[in-house]
Amino acid sequence: MTTPDIFADPPVLRTERLVLRQITESDGEALFGIFADDEVTEHYAWDTFTRVEQGHELAARTAGQFRQREAIRWGLLLPGSARIIGTCGYTRWVQDSHFAILGYDLARDYWRRGLMSEAVAAVLRLGFEQMALHRVEATVMAGNTASAAVLGRAGFRREGVMRERALKRGEFRDVWMFGLTRADWTT
């Protein structure tokens, strides 16, 4: 699959327990449901959603980034369901540099089941095997050990700390930087 093929016909990815399909504008209400939870947004640079319009705005922005060929993010669904329970994908894709930034989130009801590890593995497989990625980065707000563990299981290495990088609830917080190269992924 070449880069234009991905944008012309976004792939549906499947894992043992998930179906991953492109985020669309119709996912706004489900995104609101995910990000209206203080525990989900505890380690995010943005505040908890308080209005359903915020979910619709995020869905529209995500779909727009795909149309602009800047990013691709999948909605996570349980087989047989139409409502997304999380997202995973490349929030930025610099095609000329063979580089992307990975992002993901999951509704709290589905935490601690290994679902995000499955989704990340599928997205990385597509990135390295079909999108010609050489490097993938991810950032995690310091203290988010669950997210750091997901990245560790996928082979990412913690490469450093960006001190006081994120402002959250009036406090500057450190952000951990993780990286994964093609060589790391294949070994």
pLDDT, one tens digit for every residue, the chain (187 residues): 555 578 888 899 999 999 999 999 899 999 999 999 999 988 888 889 999 999 999 999 999 999 898 899 999 999 999 899 999 999 999 999 999 999 999 999 999 999 999 999 999 999 999 999 999 999 999 999 999 999 999 999 999 999 999 888 888 999 999 999 999 997 5
Using an 8 Å Cβ cutoff, are 124 and 185 in contact?
Answer: yes
Q: What is the pTM of this model?
A: 0.92
CA distance 160 to 152: 14
What is the per-residue DSSP string for 80-118? T--S--EEEEEEEEEGGGTEEEEEEEE-GGGTTSSHHHH
Is 3.30.70.100 the CATH number for 3-186? no
Which pLDDT score, from 0 to 100, does residue 1 have?
52
CA distance 87 to 62: 11
CA distance 60 to 58: 5
Q: Show me where the domains of the chain are located.
A: 3-186
DSSP state of 25: G
